[in-house]
Copies of this chain bind each other. A is one copy, B any other.
Amino acid sequence: MLTISQLAAYAGVTVRAVRHYHHIGLLTEPSRDGSGYRTYDAGDVVRLIRIRTLAQAGVPLARVQELLAATPEEFGDAVDQIDAALRAQVRELQEHRRRIARLATGDSLALPAEVLPYLEKLRASGAPEPMVEGERDAWILMAARWPERIPEFMGDKMAQLDDPRMVRLNRLIGELLEVGMDEGRLTAMADLLAEMAEQSAQRGELDRQRDQLGDDAFVALLDAFAFDAHPMVERLQELMAERGWTGWIRIERAAETGPAPESRP
């Protein structure tokens, strides 16, 4: 007759595991001696070794019973199923490894590869670091919303950076961040923005943009994001409104100029 620790030692498992198997009904509770100790025999050791063998092969405990009582065919089928599950888990982990291998630095975290060159170019053009970070976060959002359109968007943005007015604009933003809100610079920025918007409109780019960014709520979210980033955005929107433009992420010609005469009931 064996105690629980002897049983566990012969079978090569822990005492806690044996009690767990009792608890889940995988091993029937043996009889007790006078002082309440469980008493096992060699047959219990054999049963426990069988269980251990299956468990160590990755069989879920919930299926061990079934396998122990299975015919060879059932056993084979079950083994196939379990192996398939193990394969799936391996694939999942491999997928994790692939993903983690691509998380090189903090900058590229959650950012599609196409965006990195753009951010670099932006930085190189003299854009201030806070702005680059803001852009980065905005592109994280864009990538989550429209992952498949990122290359398209990026093409446009890279081209924009070839426009000297855009470079000038980014420099002005940097200066504003340093010296604080400056009405002169803000006016200059609004003029630049309005000029570029006008040109974009003539080329039909604004229409295309409206098609691309078809989710009003999402655009509003990005606009609010920009608003939160710096007060200059709010002031610039006012100045742009005076010039007949509305919106920020998705810029559009304002419906009416002046204090909307249609607002009568």
Q: Which residues of A contact B (CB under 8 A)?
A: 1-2, 6, 10-12, 41-43, 45-46, 49-50, 52-54, 56-59, 68, 70-72, 75-76, 79, 82-83, 86-87, 89-90, 93-94, 96-97, 99-101, 103-106, 109-110, 137, 140-141, 144-145, 217-218, 221-222, 224-225, 228
Contact partners of A86 in chain B: CB under 8 A: 93, 96-97, 100
Known contacts A58-B97, A86-B93, A103-B79: does B49 contact A140 (CB below 8 Å)? yes
Known contacts A75-B106, A141-B49, A144-B45: does B89 contact A93 (CB below 8 Å)? yes
Expressed in whole angstroms, the minimum distance between the Cβ of A43 and any Cβ of chain B is 7
Expressed in whole angstroms, the minimum distance between the Cβ of A116 and any Cβ of chain B is 14
Q: Residue A99 contacts which of B2, B6, B45, B56 (CB distance < 8 angstroms)? A: B56
Are A105's CB and B49's CB within 8 A?
A: no
Contact partners of A54 in chain B: CB under 8 A: 103, 109
Q: Residue A42 contacts which of B2, B97, B221 (CB distance < 8 angstroms)? A: B221
Using CB atoms, name the residue of chain B closest to A102.
B57
Are B83's CB and A90's CB within 8 A?
A: no
Known contacts A70-B106, A93-B90: does B58 contact A99 (CB below 8 Å)? yes
Are A83's CB and B110's CB within 8 A?
A: no
Known contacts A140-B46, A141-B10: does B100 contact A90 (CB below 8 Å)? no
Q: Residue A144 contacts which of B10, B83, B97, B101 (CB distance < 8 angstroms)? A: B10
The CA of A158 and the CA of B222, in the complex, are separated in Å by 80
Known contacts A49-B110, A224-B41, A228-B41: does B58 contact A83 (CB below 8 Å)? no
